[in-house]
Amino acid sequence: MDDIPPPPPLIDDLVEKNKDVHEKLLKNSETASSQYGVNIFIVGLFLMFAVYLKIMGLTESDRLMFLVILMLIQVVWMIFYICVSDRKKWAPTEKDGHAGARWLRCGIVLFAITTLVMHALKLGYFVGYSECIPIIEGIYPVTHIVHTFFQVYFLWCHSKDVIKSFKTLERFGLIHSVFTNLLLWASAVATESDHQLEEHMERLKSLGFTNLTLTYPTDIAHLECNCSTNLCKDFKKGIYYIYPFYIEYQILASAMLYVLWKNIGNKTSHLHHKNKLNFDGVYVGCFLGLIVMAATIGIVAIYLLNIGRSKTNSEAALSIYYFYSITVLGLMSIGSLLGLVIYKTEKTSVFKEKSPAVKLDAELLVGSSIGSWIISWGSILAIIFAEHHPTYTWYNLPYSILVIVEKYIQNLFIIAYINHTPQNNLKASHIEIPIETGQVSVPAESTDFTTSKGIEVQQQASMQNQQSKKDKTHRPPADRKNNNRKLVLKNLTVLLFLCNLSLWIPPAFGCRPQYDNGLEATVFGIMPWIVLIDVALPFSIFYRMHSTYSLFDVFCKI
Amino acid sequence: MDDIPPPPPLIDDLVEKNKDVHEKLLKNSETASSQYGVNIFIVGLFLMFAVYLKIMGLTESDRLMFLVILMLIQVVWMIFYICVSDRKKWAPTEKDGHAGARWLRCGIVLFAITTLVMHALKLGYFVGYSECIPIIEGIYPVTHIVHTFFQVYFLWCHSKDVIKSFKTLERFGLIHSVFTNLLLWASAVATESDHQLEEHMERLKSLGFTNLTLTYPTDIAHLECNCSTNLCKDFKKGIYYIYPFYIEYQILASAMLYVLWKNIGNKTSHLHHKNKLNFDGVYVGCFLGLIVMAATIGIVAIYLLNIGRSKTNSEAALSIYYFYSITVLGLMSIGSLLGLVIYKTEKTSVFKEKSPAVKLDAELLVGSSIGSWIISWGSILAIIFAEHHPTYTWYNLPYSILVIVEKYIQNLFIIAYINHTPQNNLKASHIEIPIETGQVSVPAESTDFTTSKGIEVQQQASMQNQQSKKDKTHRPPADRKNNNRKLVLKNLTVLLFLCNLSLWIPPAFGCRPQYDNGLEATVFGIMPWIVLIDVALPFSIFYRMHSTYSLFDVFCKI
């Protein structure tokens, strides 16, 4: 019975022990590093709020100093990591195919360029006012430029790395980088909200909400000073146009670094799926999507030109914006629903992805949706309980409901498909062909004679070869059905991709009806509502960008 | 070569497809239900804040109505689930051994009893004022009592269930339950903070911070009314003493329901580890821990009797509290560090747990630590930047630093050991004995003769038998060393267990130096600091309770 002796327990056990000691130290450094990161983040946020609320005598310089120190630590760590991994080039490094896809890396390079431009402008602004603003406002953009260069190089070359050997330093360095980027993101969001608020106060006046205006402190220090280059105002204007891109850059970099951190010591290695982009037959989706995008740009222009001019102009701008949004969101909801129905009826198998990158994608989608869900529920409750209802506020109700519904369905659609791998799709179509032509190997036929097996394999290969030739001229119905399904899905994905990209534009460039319509601010009070919008809207904007990425991923996988 | 034919592709594939379709629907309903839950939670929080900030004309009654509806939906779902699973009793249901441990279920029953008492008191209060307060304030406690009964029964009988069959209704029901309990928790926390604030305003006056008092609206409606039973005031007082337990009940119930939700469709089945509680030799830990506990109760009494009496009394109370806390936290830090050192030097293997219950435990520990980290960093910054430093505020600095450090180390210690299974421990000690007596089976010896193998096994068995008899009289040094190590760990765990339980008492029963010392409130402004404490302190209190549970778990596993 037991003719094979059991493996010697001692050696086996020692190997196992060694592995386990390794694993247990790994688990330990994971907790330790995440706790370190959280504490850095808390201190950074405290400093930010202290400066923002002007307490504790802290100034903007202190906060910038803190960020500069964090960035420099990260740069030193990145240089160390790059040097060490360059020295170990002979060793086969494991890669996670899901992390750091090429288009993601290209995206971060593009955003990084805008970041560099922004900090160059900041430097120009500093030069103009160099006499009266502290030196740190010049050091900060320089450090940021250096930081951006190193970070982009690091993410470009190493974003797929799966760090296998036990490296506490790597864990701490990565989590430090994640939270440094998150702090830079939070700081950018706060500055941007501040700036938006100034504009919106003007707009609210035009709608007759004079009681809602806040006395807003402008930076008086700079007003007393003369700009030596005469370009300072233009620089400042330029900076604010780039902010939306800068915000996206920070959040993207954080996400990529987080995936790297999560991948440390990961056991499941993932194959790299080379997905060829194929735009055949997606004309309908492209066409509709481009119409939506063109309309969006038009609407944003109309909105920005009319809002805050006069009561009639402002009301018209809001009404047009709501009508447009209701149409687009309705279209997207129907599209996502259709995609979901196709998914449910599809009989192809699904492979559950276990990469942290895929898991994070899904969590970020649902997590960032919460931002706009909060705003929308606020709007709905405000409309229900408001005392006065100007006409345009009624359009706010279907709009807010559709925002909730659209994100709900779209998330289901995207998450369903990013858990999908193309291999299964291919396998499924390969198997369906023999069924159609009757070439199924039944269990009884394939018993234990080896030579006929070899012949069978040859036969199958040649048949399949013929089959694939035949396919190009005359496809069997099941295959054709499958292809039609794919084509519909691809069109839907392209449409959703362009719609999400379009919907990113209005809030990122200053169309914020949640501020401008004045209804919610009247019901909730101006300060609570502003705080809520300032916290929730960045997530809502991030959602649109992130869903665009995810939909690109879905498109590649279909 | 390939004499075994490949399995027939069609049937295998169909089975796989079926499994995959199942899995893909599962994934879908996971996202869908979590999105539903988040939206319910947002609406509930909005109602809570609207009532709290007295906006939109919403009253307490509307909010209670909403909670009553949520609770009733949950009760209906639980009845449905209990009935269905009772009918299926013949089927072998899979259980997760990590979820719903017996002591956890006992804990929830104890807390549930306090909840029942509290709602009975609320009902009594309602009866007293029934003429002038709305009927919903009577319906609410009744519903809550019914809800508590069903929920405790449900958690007692079903908290280990691993729901295997695809059940969208189960997912939605469970997530509805999770968020209902979270809303009840948030509501309890808000009421408790409200009540604490009233008391602290009085205390701040005694310390000379007269400029910090807020005009606080007391419930005037009840004042105009006469209590028909003459017991209303006592009822109200009693209710506030029970609140800390009620808050713990809600958060515990949420956590257990969340684990159930996470376990739906889980594949890895876990054995139930029957851990016998063995208190042999933990006298030192028990003794020290009980001293700490007695001291805590004494300090809480001193604090509550002195704070707010006069400036001298208040300052003395604060100083004593800080000294006591610094001592206890220092002791705990050293204890955790020692435990961690033992863990790192130990050579026993570790088994990485994959149960959602264990993962959630670790995440809750780190997550709830964030609450007190935020408060402590706030205190540290306030001390650094404050203009005036009364003597007692200096004690706040080491105290705050120790709060951060202690949680950091203790989390590492607990998380290290809850990822440990006792089986490995047992195995390791079994293997070490033969090494000592030289009985190692080397690879060369154990080749392919079967009969000698059988003899060897018999020999080994008899040797081991003798060995275990010998062990009881004379243990080999390695085993003894291992036992000593275990004994030290057990003592440490018991000490930490009792210390954490002790530290839960002061904040839960009204010792809140973060409010009472007035330093942070002066630096940050009273409103921002109160909001921060109100949000962060519940997590800090929850941390102490949760670490107690986790340490109990660790004790059982050692």
Tell me the percentage of chain B whose pLDDT exceeds 70: 73
Q: Chain A residues with CB inside 8 Å of B40's CB?
A: none
The dihedrals phi and psi of A161, each to the nearest 5 degrees, come to: -60, 140
Distance from C-alpha of B342 to C-alpha of B425, rounded to nearest angstrom: 14
Q: Chain B residues with CB inside 8 Å of A441's CB?
A: 8-10
In this predicted structure, what is the pLDDT of residue B426? Answer: 41
Distance from C-alpha of A417 to C-alpha of A555, rounded to nearest angstrom: 9
Q: Which stretches in chain A have pLDDT values below 50?
A: 1-9, 14-15, 216-218, 220-221, 269-272, 422-453, 455-462, 464-473
Nearest to B431 among A13, A56, A57 (CB): A13
Under the banding of pLDDT at 50, 70 and 90, the label for residue B475 is low
Tell if the CB–CB gap between A441 and B9 is shorter than 8 Å.
yes
Distance from C-alpha of B219 to C-alpha of A547, rounded to nearest angstrom: 48
Distance from C-alpha of B533 to C-alpha of B192, rounded to nearest angstrom: 12
Q: Chain-centre distance of CA A423, in angstroms?
A: 25
Helices (H), B346-390: 356-385
Q: Chain B residues with CB inside 8 Å of A435's CB?
A: 10
In this predicted structure, what is the pLDDT of residue B143? Answer: 93
Q: Which residue of B has its CA nearest to A2?
A: B450
Q: Chain B residues with CB inside 8 Å of A351's CB?
A: 20
Average pLDDT estimate for B221-247: 76
Q: Check: CB of residue B74 under 8 Å from CB of residue B211.
A: no
Residues B120-151 pLDDT 10s: 888 888 888 877 788 888 899 999 999 999 99
In this predicted structure, what is the pLDDT of residue B99? Answer: 65
Q: Which residue of B has its CA nearest to A363?
A: B31
Tell if the CB–CB gap between B42 and A11 is shorter than 8 Å.
no
Residues B203-219 pLDDT 10s: 666 666 655 555 544 45
The number of beta carbons lying within 10 Å of the beta carbon of residue A252 is 22
Average pLDDT estimate for B289-307: 90
Q: Chain B residues with CB inside 8 Å of A21's CB?
A: 347, 349-350
Residue B385's SS3 state is helix
Q: Which residue of B has its CA nearest to A348?
A: B17
The string of DSSP letters for A100-118 reads S-HHHHHHHHHHHHHHHHH
Q: A-B interface: how many C-beta pairs under 8 angstroms?
A: 199
Distance, first Cα to last Cα, chain B: 50
Q: Chain B residues with CB inside 8 Å of A408's CB?
A: 32, 35, 39
Taking every pair of Cα atoms in chain A, the longest distance, rounded to a whole number of angstroms, is 95
Q: Which residue of A has its CA nearest to B348?
A: A17
Under the banding of pLDDT at 50, 70 and 90, the label for residue B558 is confident
Helices (H), B129-227: 136-158, 168-206, 220-223
Q: Residue B331 belongs to what H/E stretch?
A: helix B311-345
Nearest to A20 among B6, B27, B349 (CB): B349
Tell if the CB–CB gap between B10 and A352 is shorter than 8 Å.
no
In this predicted structure, what is the pLDDT of residue B352? Answer: 59
Residues B145-171 pLDDT 10s: 999 999 999 988 887 777 766 577 888
Distances (CA, A) of A217 to A54, A220, A381, B253: 11, 8, 31, 47
Q: Which of A15, A66, A175, A349 has the highest number of chain B CBs within 10 A, making it the mutation to test binding with B?
A: A349
Q: Chain A residues with CB inside 8 Å of B358's CB?
A: none
Distance from C-alpha of A316 to C-alpha of A333, rounded to nearest angstrom: 26
Tell if the CB–CB gap between B4 and A53 is shorter than 8 Å.
no
Tell if the CB–CB gap between A525 and B55 is shorter than 8 Å.
yes
Q: What burial letters (b/e) apply to A132-149, b meaning 16+ CB within 10 Å?
A: ebbebbbebbebbbebbe
Distances (CA, A) of B445 to A5, A8, B164, B430, B460: 10, 9, 47, 21, 14
A95: which DSSP letter? B
Q: Which residue of A has its CA nearest to B408?
A: A35
Taking every pair of Cα atoms in chain B, the longest distance, rounded to a whole number of angstroms, is 96
How many helices (H) does chain B have, and how many strands (E)?
Answer: 17, 2
Q: What is the mean pLDDT of chain B?
A: 76
Query: How much helix, strand and coil, in percent to the nearest 5, is found in chain B?
Result: 75, 0, 20
**Sign of the C-alpha dihedral computed for residues A106, A111, A114 and A120 taken in this order:** negative
Q: Chain-centre distance of CA A284, in angstroms?
A: 26
Q: Residue B162 belongs to what H/E stretch?
A: strand B161-162
Q: Residue B161 belongs to what H/E stretch?
A: strand B161-162
Cβ neighbours of residue A217 under 8 Å, at least 6 residues apart?
none
**Nearest CA distance, B520 vs chain A (angstrom):** 10
Q: Which of B23, B42, B369, B523 has the highest number of chain A CBs within 10 A, making it the mutation to test binding with A?
A: B42
Tell if the CB–CB gap between B370 and A408 is shorter than 8 Å.
no
Q: Which tokens hold the place of B249? A: 């009940």
Type of residue found at B340:
L
Tell if the CB–CB gap between B24 and A343 is shorter than 8 Å.
yes
Q: How buried is B449 (Cβ within 10 angstroms: 0-12 exposed, 13-18 middle, 19+ buried)?
A: exposed
Quote the ipTM score: 0.72
Tell if the CB–CB gap between B369 and A42 is shorter than 8 Å.
no
Tell if the CB–CB gap between B1 and A411 is shorter than 8 Å.
no
Q: Check: CB of residue B131 under 8 Å from CB of residue B228.
A: yes
B94: which DSSP letter? E
Q: Which residue of A has its CA nearest to B1?
A: A450
Q: Check: CB of residue B557 under 8 Å from CB of residue B418.
A: yes
Q: How buried is B547 (Cβ within 10 angstroms: 0-12 exposed, 13-18 middle, 19+ buried)?
A: buried
**Nearest CA distance, A51 vs chain B (angstrom):** 11
In this predicted structure, what is the pLDDT of residue B62? Answer: 85
Q: Which tokens hold the place of A393? A: 């506020």
Q: What dihedral angle (degrees, nearest 10) is formed by the CA atoms of B448, B449, B451, B457?
A: -50
Question: Which residues does residue B81 pair with via DSSP β-bridges, in sequence order?
Answer: none
The number of beta carbons lying within 10 Å of the beta carbon of residue A492 is 27
Residue B337's SS3 state is helix
Distance from C-alpha of A256 to C-alpha of A160, rounded to nearest angstrom: 9
Distance from C-alpha of B310 to C-alpha of B32, rounded to nearest angstrom: 57
Type of residue found at B473:
T
Q: Check: CB of residue A262 under 8 Å from CB of residue A356.
A: yes
Question: Is the model's pTM score more than 0.90?
Answer: no
Q: Chain B residues with CB inside 8 Å of A47's CB?
A: 381
Tell if the CB–CB gap between B377 and A42 is shorter than 8 Å.
yes
Residue B112 clears pLDDT 70, i.e. is over it: yes
Residue B248 clears pLDDT 60, i.e. is over it: yes
Q: Chain B residues with CB inside 8 Å of A25's CB?
A: 344
Nearest to A446 among B5, B366, B525 (CB): B5
Nearest to A55 among B38, B349, B525 (CB): B525
Q: What burial letters (b/e) apply to B316-351, b meaning 16+ CB within 10 Å?
A: bbbebbbebbbebbebbbebbbbbbebbeebebbbe
